[in-house]
Amino acid sequence: MESQPPVTSAPTVTPPAFFARRGIHYGWVVAAVTFLTMLVTAGAVGAPGVLIGPLEREFGWATADISSGFAIRLVLFGLMGPFAAAFMNRFGLRPVATVALGLIGLGVFGSFFMTRVWHLMLLWGVVVGFGTGLTAMVLGATVATRWFAQRRGLVLGLLTASTATGQLVFLPLLAHLTETLGWRSALSLILAMLLVAALAVLILLRDRPSDIGLLPYGASEPPTNPARPTTLKAMLASPLLALRDASKSATFWVLFGTFFICGASTNGLVQTHFVSLCGDYGMAAVTAAGMLALIGVFDFIGTVGSGWLSDRVDSRWLLFWYYGLRGLSLLYLPFSDFSFYGLSIFAVFYGLDWVATVPPTVKLAADRFGDRASLVFGWIFAGHQLGAASAAYGAGFSRTFYQTYLPAFFVAGILCLIASLAIVAVRERRDRAPVTARG
Q: What is the number of structural domains in the chain? A: 1
Segment 272-283 shows an average pLDDT of 84
Q: Do the domain assignments include residue 384?
A: yes
Q: Do the domain assignments include residue 267?
A: yes
Q: Do the domain assignments include residue 319?
A: yes
Cα distance between residue 152 and residue 123, in whole Å: 36
Instruction: Give the structural domain span for 104.
Output: 23-209+232-425
Q: Do the domain assignments include residue 299?
A: yes
Q: Do the domain assignments include residue 190?
A: yes
Candidates 307, 363, 322; CA nearest to 161 is 307
Q: CATH code at 41?
A: 1.20.1250.20
Cα distance between residue 258 and residue 437, in whole Å: 26
pTM over 0.75: no
Distance, C-alpha 169 to centroid of its chain? 14
Whole-number average pLDDT of the chain = 82
Q: Do the domain assignments include residue 87?
A: yes
Of 37-46, 91-100, 231-240, minimum mean pLDDT range: 231-240
DSSP secondary structure string, 167-193? HHHTHHHHHHHHHHH-HHHHHHHHHHH
pLDDT digits (tens, 9 = 90+) for 295-311: 878 888 888 888 788 87
Of 215-224, 264-273, 300-309, 327-336, minimum mean pLDDT range: 215-224
Q: Do the domain assignments include residue 290?
A: yes
Higher model confidence: residue 334 or residue 48? 334
Q: Do the domain assignments include residue 252?
A: yes
Segment 328-341 shows an average pLDDT of 87
* Sign of the dihedral through C-alpha 28, 31, 32, 33: positive
Q: What is the 3-state secondary structure (H, E, C) of 71-123?
A: HHHHHHHHHHHHHHHHHHHHHCHHHHHHHHHHHHHHHHHHHHHCCCHHHHHHH
Give the per-residue pLDDT at 433.
42
Give the per-residue pLDDT at 16.
80
pLDDT digits (tens, 9 = 90+) for 69-113: 777 877 787 778 778 877 887 888 899 999 999 999 999 899 888
